[in-house]
Each structure stands twice: as structure tokens, then as C-alpha cells.
A and B are shown apart, each in its own frame.
Chain A
């Protein structure tokens, strides 16, 4: 049996920076379990272009010298046991049940190839960290910052596009404040989003007064929000020509772009540009905002991320749980009415 040890990191299948968050966590897991990471974003990635493309490599250089093709060997063992050399490119639609996806089992597996396709936060992964690891004693934010620097190298054309925009619109206007406001489908994810969004105005004013900001680099996925802030700040506001939605049903990441690579490039350009600004205000529940936080070691006084209070979050979680339980009850009722024979009725 071969002693090769790989961690195949597949796409989680969410927004770009949500998938990157999953990827960063797994890169840490690969280091901690002494495996070579291979990133493969297949057809389940919202950013994949064609069946033969690894969507991750549309945007970044590979993270290791190996590709998924190196894993297509019948003599390799795989974990979780559902995988083998013939099916690892396929998306497992049952992955959200987390069956065979226990983090401890994955970290301690002896298989040649461990396949990771579900998300884990940094905290549980850090439980496996030994004292001699370079990240020992660092916070999740510090670790992910280092991982971003260590593994991710943008494709040259994307970097050129970022430079071009920066040099044209922002370079000579320092200090620049970057602002990221979420709308569209985020209202379904973050309870109280409207209330969070109302806090931006006051905070922007505080930064403008305190730091004599000359330009605001504005990022949003919602056209109405951009229009509103455009009216408020006029020429001071700078934004890219990214595609934007209008409501919860027109989320940009779910939009079917003619050129799907462009969808990823738009979010990347916005994120990296924001990280080049001097100050940042964003939404703590947004992976895009948090990516900006991770791309640079921001002085504490230069960045604001909005969150609900813990009490509010707990209240919303209880409410969400109740709604979910009710939904499950109704589904069960409906199922029993449609398939009475499965419930002991004839």
C-alpha cells in the first residue's frame, strides 16, 4: 500500500468566499494531518465554467504541485468510504447529512485520500494543533490571514484588473474608506439585516469626520443600495461595474452568468480592492466582509464589522429553530398523507 497522503478539498457549493472559508479551514486541516492539499471545485461550484474545469484554478494558482488526476488510482484508499477513484469528481448530494464527515475521523484517517466537501469552522480544527505548528498560540483570524498569504496567488489577469481599477480610481485619493453592505438573499440568512444596514450611515460619518476620508469604495450586491448611497455621497463614491441583484430572489452568486468565471472575478476584484483601502466597514455575517478582514492585518481602529448583539442572535436562533421544527412537522404530515402505506395505514 502506498504511503501517499492527500486531502482533496472539494467545493462546498456556496458563495465564493464561503467556499474559500471552507478551503482555508481544510488547508489548515491538511497541515495538521500531514496531508498534501489538492483543491478541486467541480461542477457543484457556483463558479465552475465547464465540466472539465477546476473552478478554483480559474482564479488562483494551484495550492500544491498535485491535481485531482493524481488521485485517480485504483490502489488508493479513500475516506469517507463512499469515495473511490471513479467517483471523486462527482458531487455527493447527501453530504449535508454529514454522514462519515466527522472531523476527528477525517483527521485521524489512514486513507491515502481524505475527501473534504463539508464546512468546518476553524475552532474545532484547531483542537488538533500541536505545539510545534507555526500557528500555535494564534487566533483563528491570525491563522487564516497567514494561510491566505501562504497559499493563494491570484491569476495574473485578475491581479492586473485589480491594479488597473486601483490606479485609475483610488490610488491618488487616499485615505479611502471601503464599505460593504449586503442585501438580496442575505435577508434570509441574517435575521435583522435591515437593522444592521441602518447602522452604516452613522459609522461612515464617524470615519469621514475622524480620518478625513477622501473617497468611499462601495461594495454591494444590491442595485437599490448602491443607488441610495450614490445619491447620498455623490462623486465621493466609487464602485466597480459588477452585476447586482435587486431582491432576495436575484442573488448574484446564484445568477447564471454567460461567462461564469466573470462572476468570481467580480467578487474577487471588489474584495481585494477593499483590502487595499485604508479603512473598512462591513457586515460580520458576510464572508466577503470577513475576507477583507483576513486579507490585511487591519489596525483595530481601522475596521468595523457589524454584528447583532449576542442576546439578539440567541433570540433569532430560537425563533429560527421553532420555524424549522414546524416546517419538519408539516413535511412529515404531508408525507404521511401522501404515502399512508409507509405509516401503517392501508
Chain B
């Protein structure tokens, strides 16, 4: 047994920003337990490119100076007990049974390496924050702001893409204020006794901002061509609409790698990296805007909320 303890944060296997949220929650767990966090998105990640790459580091800077190689050590003990030196980089097909994955047993484990591959929400980790931690007594939003601000740093490629978009879109560059709207193709809300589309609540909020706040443009982020067409029909005046140039691709939930539908599987890595960089670029472009309207159930919208200290009146998440 060695003195240094690690928290290996593997991919949760959902959309990009949902996986990032999982990383952030686990970074809080790492701080609480005094473990060195190591993020590794291997072949089980939706965003993996090849067996030798850590997909997280294709897009973001590492969260610590320790690499995955240092965590794979025959002398280390692992928790949950299914893991060992030989299999820790593989995916557990039974992880959805949640066995040994409750926050309490993970946080109290004495193993050298705790492996996290399922998402435990921040509310289940907050009760473990000790009084000495700077986030003790803070709200989930404040904690998210701290975590995203401290740990999430994009690679220079993303910054270049963001800058390129701004440079090549003079309306975006020169004509502020701008409202960013993130509209999902699938926005069905299932609440108690209610079923509705969150998209029905966007237009009144957009019009309110356009008329009351003097916004000059609406920057649309969407994964749906249908939504893009709808907005192009509605916001025709004064070239008000700026549409993100990202490819429109609906996220259909976790899919096993063998079932991904890239026409040429050898090109998958390249295409997927481009698509993912576009998603990140859109998110950071939204941060450049003055107002934001998003979907409260969307990880992308919530990331926009957490990455910037928005004035309360300038951001609206639809629930």
C-alpha cells in the first residue's frame, strides 16, 4: 500500500457535457477525500478516438499532473472491488447495476485507487463536505461555479475555433448585445402529471429580451435542422439571427461503439472530434453573449450557466 491515493474518474458514457458534469462532481469527491483526481475517458467514452488516447484530453486540459499510467500499478488496491491492475482501463458492462457505487462507500473507501464510472449527483456528495472545505455550506450552483472555474480549461484548439467564429462573423463580433439561445430538438419534459415541450417557452422570452434589452442579434445553438428552419422563418428581420455553423446532430443517448453510424468507421475519430469541438465551441460562444436562454434539463445549457457569473436577469433556463 502506498501513501498517495487517487480517484480515477472514468467516462459516464453520456453526452459530452453530462460526462463533464460527472467529472466535476467527482472532482469535488476527490477534494473531500484528499485523493489526486485522474480523468480517463477510454474506449467506453462516447468521444473516444482510439485505444491509446484519453478522450478527455482531446478537448480539455488535464485536471492534475498525474497520468493514467501512474494509477495502473500492480501494488495498488482498488475500489469497487471488481477492479484490479489488469482490468481497470476496461469498461464494466454491469456498471448500471450500481453495485459498490454508492457515494458513501466510495468516499469512505481506503483503497489506493477509487474508480468512478457512474454519475452520482452533486447533492449526494454535498453532505460529505467537511466544515474546513471552502465549499462547505454553499449551494449546488455555487459549488458548480467553483468546480467549473477551477478545473475546466479547454485546449487551445477550442479557443482557436471560438476566435475563428468571432472573427468571421462580424455581426457576432461587432453588434452587441446578443442573446444566445440553446434549443434542443428533443425538449420533451416529463414532470409530475405533466408532459410538454420546453421549446414552447422560448419565443416569449426571446421577444421579451429583444424588445426590452435592446438586443441586436439572436445566436442560435441547436442540434436540430427543424428548429433551425423554424427560427429562420420567425426571425427574418434586420438579419437578427446568427446560426452556429456546427453540424446538426441529435444526441440519441449512449450507443455502443459498434453501433455508431459513422459511414466510415475509420473516420469516426476524426468526425467525432470535430463534432465535439463544435459543441464545445458553441458553449463557449454562448458565454461571449450578453443574454442566454437555455433548456434547464440540458447539460449544455447548464454548463453555460455554470461557466460564467451571469447577472440574474441575463440568463433564463426553461423548465
Contact = CB atoms under 8 A, between A and B. Distances in A.
A211 B97 contact: yes
A142 B121 CA distance: 10
Nearest to A290: B192
A121 B189 CA distance: 13
Contacts of A146: 123
B141 A137 contact: yes
Contacts of A305: 190
A287 B194 CA distance: 11
Interface in A265-287: 284-285, 287
A130 B312 contact: yes
Given A121-B191, A290-B193, A139 B296 contact: yes
Interface in A116-163: 121-123, 126, 130-142, 145-146
Nearest to A301: B96
A310 B187 CA distance: 11
User: What interface size band does chain A fall in?
Assistant: 35 or more
A211 B124 CA distance: 24
A126 B195 contact: no
A317 to B, nearest CB: 10
A297 interface: yes
Given A134-B140, A284-B190, A142 B123 contact: yes
A301 B141 CA distance: 25
Contacts of A34: none
B190 A307 contact: yes
Interface in A281-322: 284-285, 287, 290, 297, 299, 301-302, 305, 307-308, 310, 313
A322 to B, nearest CB: 20
Contacts of A21: 192-193
A175 interface: yes
Given A134-B139, A137-B140, A310 B123 contact: no
B319 interface: yes
B27 interface: no
Interface in B29-82: none
B192 A302 contact: no
Interface residues of B, number: 29
Given A134-B139, A137-B302, A123 B144 contact: no
B139 A136 contact: yes
Chain B at the A interface: SS class: mixed
Contacts of A136: 139, 141
Contact of A308 (B121, B195, B319): B195
A297 B319 contact: no
A52 to B, nearest CB: 32
A131 B312 contact: yes
B297 interface: yes
Interface string B208-225: 000000000000000000
Interface string B180-199: 00000000101111111100
B118 interface: yes
A301 B14 CA distance: 12
B5 interface: no
Nearest to B198: A123
A122 B319 contact: yes
B281 interface: no
B193 A137 contact: no
A218 B312 CA distance: 45
B195 A307 contact: yes
Contacts of B123: 142, 145-146, 297
Given A137-B305, A142-B123, A297-B121, A287 B141 contact: no
Interface of A: 21, 121-123, 126, 130-142, 145-146, 175, 211, 284-285, 287, 290, 297, 299, 301-302, 305, 307-308, 310, 313
Interface of B: 96-98, 118-119, 121, 123-124, 139-141, 144, 188, 190-197, 296-297, 302, 305-306, 312, 317, 319
Given A130-B312, A140-B191, A290-B192, 13 more contacts: A21-B192, A121-B191, A131-B141, A131-B312, A133-B139, A137-B140, A139-B296, A145-B123, A175-B97, A285-B193, A299-B98, A310-B188, A310-B195
23 contacts: A21-B193, A122-B319, A123-B319, A131-B312, A135-B139, A136-B139, A137-B140, A137-B141, A137-B302, A137-B305, A137-B317, A139-B296, A139-B297, A145-B123, A284-B192, A284-B195, A287-B192, A287-B193, A290-B191, A297-B124, A299-B96, A302-B96, A308-B195
